[in-house]
């Protein structure tokens, strides 16, 4: 280990602001949210202070070192095994009683620590006053009051961390050193001793005006979970989210594509100036560049609106309330209401959703949540739905057609949720194993989202992520599609052979060969599905530039699409095999090839089945 590089860890209960502090110190952009279990794996970043460099590890939240849940095990193992120079124990001052227990547990195994009493401004507003000096004396380590969200107290915290790292501060609590958590025998006496110490410290150092939450929080909860308003509020919020996304995404999409086609003609001129061979020009511009620009112009605008809005809701603390409201439906299907949280994470990214399933304790419930997570359309697939709805069901921007789009999106979302519940119920009957792990979930306080910061962060993260993925995946995919469309075997293009091969199967479920090829080529990233379709339809370089939904409509109609085709494509968009990243994550999380395969086949089979049913119904009734 380098002498100049100190190792610092962040530990604490879930949802106490560790990731916010981590981001603040390392200037990274770890995603934060206001609910338990947002961070399930640890991440590491660097920062410098007083000319020294520090590596900082953000551990997943844990309630106790004695626990055995997977996400808490990561934290425990790190605290016990890794040699760190300092542990920053982050406590949520508003729930100091529960948090202090954890701090004591950590201190009993590692006293090279600084206590960071976070969210102190919120806590004083709620009538809780903590004497940090007294607490520091009682614990034998420094206690610093901070507000990571408001950036208060950070300088002092760093000073204390430095002092601990350099060995200038020796821990002084003899009492805590006596506690032995390592063996099962000593554990029960250790636990009762910890409880005693914790009670005494609370009594000595903390003044609490009331054990009740403040009035507005209580009123909000009563309203948002009430019988008459709870569920409608949920629907209304979803509708609003969709409405803003649809209205907002229309114009930027057109501006972007206008910009890209301008650049394209410039690039074409450059190519002819350089006397580049036609093959190279076609590959780079008609293949790679066009796919890239489609990905950005079709996919980016809806994402750039939907995800900041979703992040704001996440930050507010409303998501666990949705899980709370919906739990009884999940209970009836033999699964856990926390699955609702992982489904909502899945809307962002299914790989994240699958990883997030660690918050579900029951092995079987967790497995089911993993298998069904891709039933929620992720940010790579969501814009496909938006584009198709705009093209086929509500072209204009007038309020009436936007309303129709919102209703269709709500319908699709309802179908996704219904299928998740239905399949969960079936799986829960088929898979043997442990019974319900129950529903035990902390409902965090509502917090006013930091609006600008949240929007900027999620825009930058999403925008960067999308562009990064577009570069990595869409570019080679564009090249592959162009090559298959332009290399001929036996007189016709490779792409035509593939399309022809899949055509009968596609027709049987109401789509065509091109659509199936597009989904198969979209395996590395679903963002490329629509570009792949367009490329295949307009192959051999004769392609018209995409400029807005109007032209998409023409192109699709020219290739035999009807409203029924669009419905089937939307269904396949939602129900088909997970993307490669998600498959790898499922493999990692389940540690089983069998279940990964099941997660691959299950949505695919469901999608085919649903399309077949819809086509049957259509032929009967129309």
Partner 1 sequence: MKLRFPLWTLPLGKSGIISSVNSESATAERIRNLGLTEGAGVRAVFFAPFGDPRAYEVNRSVVALRRKQASEIIVETEEEDGEKQFQGHAGGES
Interacting residue ranges for partner 1, rule: CB under 8 A: 63-64, 66-69, 94-95, 97-98, 126, 128, 195, 210-213, 218, 221-222, 225-227, 230-231, 320, 324-325, 327-328, 331, 337, 361, 436-445
Q: How far is the CB of 234 from partner 1 (least distance, A)?
A: 9
Q: Which is nearer to partner 1, 32 or 198 (CB)?
A: 198
Question: Rounded to an integer, what distance in angstroms lies between the CA atom of residue 296 and that of residue 496?
Answer: 27
| Least gap, CB of 191 to partner 1 (angstroms) | 9
Taking the C-alpha atoms of residue 146 and residue 164, their distance in angstroms, rounded to an integer, is 18
Nearer to partner 1, 147 or 405 (CB): 147
Closer of 336 and 528 to partner 1 (Cβ): 336
118: tokens are 């976070």
- What's the rounded Cα separation, in Å, for the pair 561 and 358? 42
Shortest distance, position 441 Cβ to partner 1, whole Å: 5
Whole-angstrom CA distances from 409 to 128, 235, 447 are 45, 12, 28
Of 101 and 169, CB closest to partner 1: 101
Closest CB to partner 1 among residues 212, 507: 212
Kindly tell me which of 281 and 361 has the beta carbon lying closer to partner 1: 361
Dihedral sign for Cα 352, 355, 360, 364, please.
positive
Give the residue from 311, 319, 314, 307 showing the smallest Cα distance to 248: 307
Shortest Å, Cβ 286 to partner 1: 54
The backbone torsions φ and ψ at residue 52, rounded to the nearest 5 degrees and listed phi first, read -105, 145
Residue placing its CB nearer to partner 1 in the complex, 309 or 341: 341
- When the beta carbons of 63 and 260 are compared against partner 1, the nearer one is 63
Residue 425 Cβ, how far from partner 1 at the closest point, in Å?
17
| Strand-pair partners of 8 | 56, 86
By C-beta, is 105 or 496 nearer to partner 1?
105
Sign of CA dihedral 446, 447, 448, 454: negative
State in angstroms the smallest separation of the CB of 100 from partner 1. Answer: 11
Return the number of the residue (67 or 547) whose C-beta is nearest partner 1: 67
CB of 210 to partner 1, least distance (A): 8
HSE of 469 in the Cβ direction (CA atoms, 13 Å)? 22
Which parts of 162-321 are beta strand (E)?
206-208
**Beta-carbon contacts of residue 70 (< 8 Å; ≥ 6 apart):** 358
For partner 1, give the closer residue by CB, 200 or 222: 222
The conformational region for residue 170 under phi > 0 = left, psi -120 to 50 = alpha, else beta, is beta
Rounded Cα distance between 454 and 475, Å, is 30
Structure tokens at 408: 């269709």
Cα distance between residue 517 and residue 536, in whole Å? 9
CB of 219 to partner 1, least distance (A): 10
Nearest residue (CB) to partner 1, 189 versus 226: 226
Closest approach of partner 1 to the CB of residue 585, in Å = 25
Q: What pairs with residue 52 in β-bridges?
A: 49
Is 489 in a helix, a strand, or coil? Answer: strand
Closer to partner 1 by CB, 34 or 528: give it.
34
From first CA to last CA, the distance across the chain in angstroms is 73
How many residues does this entry show for the chain? 622
Q: For residues 565-600, b (16+ Cβ closer than 10 Å) or e, as one string?
A: bbbbbbbbbbbbbbbebbbebbbebbeeeebbebbb
Q: Rounded to the nearest whole angstrom, what is the least distance from the CB of residue 449 to partner 1 in the complex?
A: 19
Compute the least distance from the CB of residue 20 to partner 1, in Å: 18
Q: How far is the CB of 94 from partner 1 (least distance, A)?
A: 7
Judge contact between 463 and 304, C-beta under 8 A.
yes
Q: Which of 152, 179, 165, 151 has its CA nearest to residue 52? A: 165
How far apart are CB 150 and partner 1 at their closest, in Å?
Answer: 20
Output the 3-class SS for 77-90: HHHHHCCCCEEEEE
In a 10 Å sphere around its CB, with 0-12 CB exposed, 13-18 middle and 19+ buried, how is residue 16 labelled?
buried
CB of 213 to partner 1, least distance (A): 5
In the bound state with partner 1, the residue whose beta carbon lies nearer, of 98 and 497, is: 98
**Backbone conformation region of residue 53, classed left if phi is above 0, alpha if psi is from -120 to 50, else beta:** beta
């Amino acid at each position: 280990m380098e002498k100049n590089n100190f190792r610092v860890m962040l530990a604490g209960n879930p949802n106490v602001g560790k990731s916010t502090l981590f981001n603040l110190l390392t200037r990274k952009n770890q995603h934060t949210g206001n609910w338990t279990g947002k961070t399930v794996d640890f991440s590491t970043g660097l920062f410098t202070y007083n000319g020294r460099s520090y590596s900082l590890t953000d551990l997943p939240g844990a309630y106790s070192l004695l626990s055995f849940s997977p996400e808490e095990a990561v934290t425990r193992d790190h605290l016990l095994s890794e040699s760190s120079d300092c542990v920053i124990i982050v406590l949520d001052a508003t729930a100091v009683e529960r948090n202090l227990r954890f701090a004591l547990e950590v201190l009993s195994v590692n006293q090279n620590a600084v206590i960071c009493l976070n969210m102190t401004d919120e806590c004083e507003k709620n009538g809780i006053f903590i004497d940090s000096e007294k607490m520091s004396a009682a614990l034998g380590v420094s206690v610093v009051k901070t507000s990571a969200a408001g950036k208060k107290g950070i300088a002092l915290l760093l000073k204390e961390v430095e002092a601990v790292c350099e060995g200038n501060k020796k821990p002084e609590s003899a009492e805590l050193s006596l506690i032995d958590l390592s063996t099962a025998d000593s554990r029960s006496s250790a636990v009762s001793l910890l409880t005693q110490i914790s009670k005494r410290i609370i009594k000595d150092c903390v003044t609490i005006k009331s054990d009740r939450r403040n009035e507005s929080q209580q009123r909000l909860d009563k309203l948002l979970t009430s019988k008459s308003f709870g569920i409608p509020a949920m629907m209304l919020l979803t509708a609003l989210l969709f409405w803003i996304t649809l209205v907002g995404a229309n114009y930027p999409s057109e501006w972007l594509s206008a910009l890209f086609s301008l650049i394209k003609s410039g690039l074409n001129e450059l190519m002819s100036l350089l006397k580049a061979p036609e093959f190279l020009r076609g590959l780079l511009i008609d293949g790679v560049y066009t796919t890239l620009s489609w990905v950005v112009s079709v996919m980016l605008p809806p994402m750039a609106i939907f995800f900041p809005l979703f992040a704001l809701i996440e930050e507010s603390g409303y998501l666990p309330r949705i899980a709370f409201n919906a739990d009884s439906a999940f209970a009836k299907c033999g699964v856990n209401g926390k699955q609702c949280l992982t489904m909502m994470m899945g809307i962002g990214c299914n790989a994240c959703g699958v990883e997030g399933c660690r918050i579900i304790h029951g092995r079987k419930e967790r497995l089911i949540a993993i298998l069904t997570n891709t039933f929620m359309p992720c940010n790579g697939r969501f814009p496909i739905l938006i584009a198709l709805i705009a093209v086929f069901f509500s072209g204009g921007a007038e309020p009436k057609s936007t309303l129709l789009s919102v209703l269709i999106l709500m319908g699709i979302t309802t179908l996704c949720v219904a299928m998740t519940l239905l399949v969960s119920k079936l799986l829960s009957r088929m898979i043997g194993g442990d019974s319900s792990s129950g529903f035990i979930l902390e409902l965090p306080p509502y917090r006013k989202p930091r609006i600008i910061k949240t929007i900027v962060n999620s825009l930058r993260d999403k925008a960067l992520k999308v562009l990064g993925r577009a570069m990595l995946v869409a570019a080679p995919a564009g090249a592959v599609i162009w090559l298959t469309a332009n290399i001929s075997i036996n007189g016709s293009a490779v792409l035509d052979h593939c399309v022809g091969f899949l055509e009968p199967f596609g027709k049987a479920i109401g789509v065509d060969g091109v659509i199936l090829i597009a989904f198969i080529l979209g395996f590395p990233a679903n963002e490329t599905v629509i570009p792949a379709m367009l490329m295949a339809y307009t192959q051999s370089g004769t392609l018209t530039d995409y400029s807005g939904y109007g032209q998409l409509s023409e192109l699709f109609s020219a290739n035999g699409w009807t409203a029924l085709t669009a419905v089937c494509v939307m269904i396949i968009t939602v129900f088909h095999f997970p993307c490669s990243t998600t498959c790898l994550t499922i493999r990692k999380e389940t540690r089983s090839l069998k279940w990964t395969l099941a997660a691959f086949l299950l949505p695919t089979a469901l999608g085919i089945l649903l399309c077949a049913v819809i086509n049957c119904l259509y032929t009967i009734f129309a």
